[in-house]
Homo-oligomer: A and B are copies of this chain.
Amino acid sequence: MTKARVTVIDIAKAAGVSKSTVSLVLQGSSLVNEGTRTKVNAVMRELGYVYNRGAANLRQAGAKSRIIGVVVNDLTNSFFAELAVGVDMVVQSAGFVQFLSNTSESIDRQREVVASMREHGISGLIVSPARATDAADFKPLVAAGIPVVVVVRNLPGAKVSSVVSDNQAGMMSAVKHLAELGHKRIAFLGGFPDTAVFDDRLAGYRSGMEAAGLDYHQDLVISSAPSRAGGVEAIGKAIGLADKPTAAVCFNDAVAFGVCDGLRARRLEPGSDFAVVGFDDVIEAQAAVPALTTVSVDPQGIGRRGAQLLLKQINAGKAEAETVTTAVRLVVRESCGARKSVKIETGL
């Protein structure tokens, strides 16, 4: 029932050395004699000493708390959960811990959360910014010498590093695939036009159309909320067009699912009657009916990559902005009409 916490001074007293020596063994200095080291360690174990990182951190001025802040916009989306796991993997094995917070797409919450993390002295920040985040929002952080890595969504104006998937190439390959299946009128459905990711994917769509020798028609680009409901809405508009499309690439998988719903509501079967391709390859894509053809990105890989980049910058002391794009690949399943049979995927 000893109430007071055990400090280095207690250890020092019990081991018959000075607090400085204890501090030295704490940081594994080679200066200290082997005998003393083992004795001190033994005493620590015996008294149940717990290192106080807060105090240490206070002394080592601007130095490192070994805390990494991770901010995601939607943790319920398995894409971001995977990403967080990727970050945690490398962060943890580097002896850091992660502060994880969820903004639910709220900029206010994002601001609060980042401020709070800063008060706790994070050594770096990985953030998948909420929609419409101001590029200047992270200015104070980098000004204070805290490295920031933006993932998934990039922040055009901000002078920070970023790790994003190759949205452009992904869309291009999706369009190419549909064109090879014989489609001529291919729509681009869903997504909010005010985001950088939207721009990238749309650009990929345009180049894909061009590369396939197809015309780009503005009315085939129909934006909407990047959700299932948005997909339903977008396909509704697409079907209403005078010159109907026969296929669509979607902003993401959620939109693609909504598009399938909307098709069926009109007695059209996704896959056979209308080809649809998604983006992200969320976990449900494989199990859905029809299984979704989609562009697979590796969220865990993005997380790992981002964390590595951040750690590099933390160790380097100073960090210049660097941009990494991770590869994506088209996964052909059923919703594009290329494969008709239902394959049962067995086992884990």
Which residues in A have some Cβ–Cβ distance to B below 8 Å?
5, 48, 50-55, 57-58, 61-62, 65, 67, 75-76, 78, 81-82, 84-85, 88, 92, 97-102, 109, 112-113, 116-121, 140, 144, 227-229, 232, 257-258, 261-262, 264-265, 283-284, 287-289, 344-348
User: B54 to A121, Cβ gap below 8 A?
Assistant: yes
Q: A81-B81, A88-B101, A100-B100 are in contact. Are A52 and B264 (CB under 8 A)?
A: no
Asked if residues A81 and B76 are in contact (CB atoms below 8 Å), the reply is: yes
Interfacial chain B residues near A344, Cβ < 8 Å: 261, 264-265
6 example contacts (A-B, Cβ-Cβ < 8 A) are as follows A53-B120, A75-B84, A97-B113, A97-B116, A232-B347, A287-B289
Q: Are A67 and B102 in contact (CB under 8 A)?
A: no
Query: Complex Cα distance A346/B231, Å?
Result: 10
What residues of B have a CB within 8 angstroms of the CB of A347 in the complex? 228-229, 232, 258, 261
> Which residues does chain B contribute within 8 Å of A67, judged by CB atoms?
120
Contact of A120 among B54, B84, B112 (CB under 8 A): B54
The distance from the CB of A225 to the nearest CB of chain B, in whole angstroms, is 9
Contact A97 B102 (CB under 8 A): no
Complex contact B53–A119 (CB within 8 A): yes
Q: How far is the CA of A102 from the CA of B75 in the complex (A)?
A: 14
Q: Which residue of B lies closest to A290 (CB)?
A: B289
- CA A58 – CA B102 in complex, angstroms? 28
- On chain B, the residues within 8 Å of A101 by CB distance are 88, 92, 97-98
Chain B residues closer than 8 Å to A81, beta-carbon distance: 75-76, 78, 81
How far apart are the CA atoms of A287 and B284 in the complex, in Å? 8
Closest residue of chain B to A51 (Cβ to Cβ) is: B119
B52 touches A119 (CB 8 A): yes
Q: What's the Cα separation between A120 and B228 when bound, in Å? A: 41
Hey, which chain B residues are within 8 Å of A121, CB to CB? Answer: 52-54
Indicate which residue in B76, B84, B100, B264 contacts A82 across the interface (CB closer than 8 Å): B76
Closest to A263 in B: B344
**Complex Cα–Cα for A101 and B93 (A):** 12
Q: Which residues of B contact A92 (CB under 8 A)?
A: 101, 109, 112-113
